[in-house]
A and B are shown apart, each in its own frame.
Chain A
Amino acid sequence: MTPVSSKLYADDVSLLMVLVDTNPYFWSSMKNTAFTFPKFISHVLAFLNSILLLNQMNQVVVIATGYNSCDYVFDSSTSSMQRAECLLEKLEDFVDKDESLSQEDSVDGVGFSLLSGALSMALCYIQRVFRSGPLHPQPRILCLHGSPDGPGQYVAVMNSIFSAQRSMVPIDSCVIGSQHSAFLQQASYITGGVYLKPQVSDGLFQYLSTVFATDLHSRSFLQLPRPVGVDFRASCFCHKNTIDMGFICSVCLSIFCKHHKKCSTCGSNFGEARKQDPSASDQRRTSYGS
């Protein structure tokens, strides 16, 4: 006798949350390479269409990750949007709005996009789907990210990662920038997703369709890229610097690069600092994942 399962959906029905990096500073830095934003979007559109093609119950939601804000730009479950091309118009609106939010002061370097915000939005959406009833597609998050990590978002990103882990939502990451992203390496490692930095960004569609189109059910049968090395370094809470060694509050596990009298997060008073031996006891290797 087989137990009655309350499953309406087939094994491979998925809800794919795609976070698209629209950081204008990053994309303007890519101008001189062969891989420009329009090219990137055309690859992504083909990928989204192919996901929708695979199963009529598949659902795709796209969240644009801007410099100042992030927003939903496409949701295939709303009846007016059957095809991914519909997102272009909304994406344009979003980019304009994102730009208008920008302060006058110039940004040095490429700047950071709002990964933490987009991740939280994706998780909120997934939570809503989870609560909509016992029948729902299997969610996963795909980050198409190019901008470097913003150390200021460290705590928010880590919290998002842990809540994704708790709700068993894998975070896949495809890094399109030139550097590896420590945040996304950790995100994929902790949540059991796939982290990949394509070597040839021209063939993005092939990478997407080969690796990231794999539904959660098929992942147990297929060879997928395995993590090579994960950068577990944390950022300190006081100056948002990425550090190797630091101080950890023994009550709330907040990380600081320097010794403080009082924990700024939970307010615990620390004892006398042992200045003569800074590497002892209170100073630990700071990493959440390891």
Chain B
Amino acid sequence: MPQVKIVARNFMDMVASLPVMKLDMLYDNSFICEAILRSLPPLAKKYVLQMLYIDIPITAKSMEEWVLPDGFSKHKVAIDRLIQLRVMTETFDRKKEAMYQLNPKFQFNLQKHIVYGGVLPREPMPSNITVRLPSLEELEAYAVEQWECFLLNLISSSEAGKTTNISSSMMKIFQRGLLSQRDDREPPRLTESGFQFLLMDTNAQLWYIIREYITNAEERGVDSADLIAFLLELSFHVTGKAYNTNTITDLQRSIIKDLSDLGLVKLQQGRKESWFIPTKLATNLSISLADTTTRKQGFIVIETNFRLYAYSTSKLHCEILRLFARVEYQLPNLIVGAINKESLYKAFQNGITSEQIVSFLQQNAHPRVAERIPSVPENVTDQIRLWESDLNRVEMTPAHFYDEFPSKDVFEAACDFAREYGGLLWEDSKRMRLVVKADILAEMKEFLRRQKQ
């Protein structure tokens, strides 16, 4: 599923594309330095650590000596990423040789972190004020519930029990690109990327949403650098601890409200004070920054008779399966369904490809069947592909039909012209009829007018 990587990388590119001034400002915050460091490729991390206590620029040549010939491409990627994120600056000496040096702010913050240790972004509230804090399990359940509720709302599913408090304009922004609506009477449909989005793991989905949230921050009058800084800072809070909302700015308070709808934090109100409790989703924010291939445990078993068993309690999983399978019954922890021609045709019509379905089934295979090769029975995968190619037997090309040519010569010339443009689809020289692609209509018209004169 390459999409996951692209999304994660886009976020880093977004940070990298910030103006120099803003990026340097971000590095004032030691949490951001830490999050950025963790997001780097392994080799780049290694270089940062190695150069942490070197104050003079290092020549590119001596850095190249660190790697084996095999790793040169990785070395290049690492250096490029470091420069792109302005973790390292490139200078040239008198002999025009490239020299590299760590960003002094970044270097200072990391040195401080290593020697003195990181301080918590803010102190948690004492437990005598916050009496009824949820346990970690409750908090996790809350986060999952909020997130699924949000996703169900996002795909405008009828299964969504309750609506989230996220404004509909905000929801529209999130839905952009994931859903498409042909006209107002029809319910919106999931697009291809919408389907891919549902197949991503929670962290990747979260970043996709957060990314949209950040890119639209400027429209709401929020500085995106501030927003990024706060989000990354949030990820370094301790899960399950209460933090006083008085310690954050008004702007951050409004962000917190939005985040609570996504399940990143839980808001609670005491007698006098109010506080927010970060959930695992929030503290995992900096993890999903990393360009990693994290994967959850699968839950789907498929039999050779096209029966599908999904061990899941999630409504969302059920919704996803419904996209390409017929769900027959739902037990408390099990969804039973079948894949058949009708359900697959429905999926193909929605722009989902057989490859996507097969890879979804393979990647979410239950641990019991995941060990087997292939994890999805071959006859099922073959049949899914066959059914898709069935649909592709007829290929449609918009075209124009010409007949009643005045003479054979004009007809021949028109044929040659269309052929030259690669738009000739069919010709019948006996009855002088011709079909050309719609793409070259304008050229064809012009040509025929000239012929008439």
* Max chain B C-beta neighbours (<10 A), residue from A6, A7, A134, A218: A218
Interface majority SS on A: helix, strand, loop or mixed? loop
Interface size on B, as a range, is 35 or more
Residues 39-69 of chain A, each 1 if its beta carbon lies under 8 Å from chain B, else 0? 0000000100110011111000000000000
Contact between A218 and B43, CB atoms less than 8 A apart: yes
List A contacts of B52 (CB < 8 A). Answer: 50, 209
A46 to B114, CA, bound (A): 5
List B contacts of A53 (CB < 8 A). Answer: 34, 37-38, 110, 113-114
- Residues of chain B in range 261-314 having any CB-CB distance to chain A below 8 Å: 286-287, 290, 292-296, 298
List B contacts of A5 (CB < 8 A). Answer: 295
Contact between B53 and A7, CB atoms less than 8 A apart: no
- Our pick among B34, B66, B74, B290 for the contact of A223 (Cβ within 8 Å) is B66
How close is A251's CB to chain B, nearest CB, in angstroms? 41
- Our pick among B114, B363, B365 for the contact of A50 (Cβ within 8 Å) is B114
- Residues of chain A in range 121-176 having any CB-CB distance to chain B below 8 Å: 134
* Max chain B C-beta neighbours (<10 A), residue from A50, A210, A221: A221
* Nearest B residue to A49, CB-CB: B114
- Our pick among B38, B42, B298, B362 for the contact of A1 (Cβ within 8 Å) is B362
How close is B248's CB to chain A, nearest CB, in angstroms? 23
Does A12 sit within 8 A of B, measured CB to CB?
yes
Known contacts A7-B295, A10-B293, A12-B42; A46 and B115 CB within 8 A of each other:
yes
Does A230 sit within 8 A of B, measured CB to CB?
no
* Nearest B residue to A47, CB-CB: B114
Contact between A54 and B370, CB atoms less than 8 A apart: no
Known contacts A53-B114, A209-B49, A215-B42; A221 and B75 CB within 8 A of each other:
yes
List B contacts of A209 (CB < 8 A). Answer: 49-50, 52
Contact between A54 and B362, CB atoms less than 8 A apart: no
How close is A41's CB to chain B, nearest CB, in angstroms? 13
Does A214 sit within 8 A of B, measured CB to CB?
yes
A221 to B63, CA, bound (A): 13
A46 to B286, CA, bound (A): 22
List A contacts of B295 (CB < 8 A). Answer: 5-8
Does A206 sit within 8 A of B, measured CB to CB?
yes
How close is B332's CB to chain A, nearest CB, in angstroms? 25
Contact between A4 and B370, CB atoms less than 8 A apart: yes
How close is A80's CB to chain B, nearest CB, in angstroms? 12
Contact between A213 and B362, CB atoms less than 8 A apart: no
Known contacts A49-B117, A53-B113, A205-B53; A223 and B292 CB within 8 A of each other:
no
List A contacts of B390 (CB < 8 A). Answer: none
Contact between A221 and B68, CB atoms less than 8 A apart: yes
How close is B316's CB to chain A, nearest CB, in angstroms? 20
Does A222 sit within 8 A of B, measured CB to CB?
yes
Contact between A222 and B46, CB atoms less than 8 A apart: yes
List B contacts of A7 (CB < 8 A). Answer: 293, 295
List A contacts of B67 (CB < 8 A). Answer: 221-223
A286 to B207, CA, bound (A): 60
Contact between A4 and B53, CB atoms less than 8 A apart: no
Known contacts A85-B117, A221-B75; A213 and B49 CB within 8 A of each other:
yes
A143 to B304, CA, bound (A): 52
List B contacts of A214 (CB < 8 A). Answer: 46
Interface size on A, as a range, is 35 or more
A257 to B298, CA, bound (A): 59
List B contacts of A210 (CB < 8 A). Answer: 50
List B contacts of A281 (CB < 8 A). Answer: none
How close is A43's CB to chain B, nearest CB, in angstroms? 11
* Nearest B residue to A42, CB-CB: B115
Contact between B294 and A223, CB atoms less than 8 A apart: no
A206 to B362, CA, bound (A): 45
How close is A59's CB to chain B, nearest CB, in angstroms? 15
Does B70 sit within 8 A of A, measured CB to CB?
yes
Does B373 sit within 8 A of A, measured CB to CB?
yes
Known contacts A4-B375, A50-B49, A223-B66; A56 and B38 CB within 8 A of each other:
yes
Known contacts A1-B359, A8-B295, A215-B42; A222 and B66 CB within 8 A of each other:
yes
List A contacts of B317 (CB < 8 A). Answer: none
Known contacts A53-B34, A210-B50; A223 and B117 CB within 8 A of each other:
no
A220 to B367, CA, bound (A): 30
Besides A6-B370, A50-B114, 19 more A-B contacts (Cβ < 8 Å) are A1-B358, A4-B375, A12-B42, A53-B38, A53-B113, A55-B45, A56-B38, A56-B287, A83-B117, A85-B117, A213-B50, A214-B46, A215-B42, A220-B68, A220-B71, A221-B70, A222-B46, A222-B68, A223-B65
- State the 3 A-B residue pairs at the shortest beta-carbon distance, nearest first: A221-B71, A12-B42, A10-B292
Q: Which residues of B contact A (CB under 8 A)?
A: 34, 37-38, 42-43, 45-46, 49-50, 52-53, 65-68, 70-71, 74-75, 110, 113-115, 117-118, 286-287, 290, 292-296, 298, 358-359, 362-363, 365, 367, 370, 373, 375
Interchain residue pairs with CB less than 8 A apart (17)? A3-B373, A10-B290, A10-B292, A50-B52, A54-B37, A54-B49, A55-B290, A56-B38, A83-B118, A205-B53, A213-B46, A217-B42, A218-B46, A220-B71, A221-B67, A221-B75, A223-B65
Q: Which residues of A contact B (CB under 8 A)?
A: 1, 3-12, 46, 49-50, 53-57, 83, 85, 134, 205-206, 209-210, 213-215, 217-218, 220-223
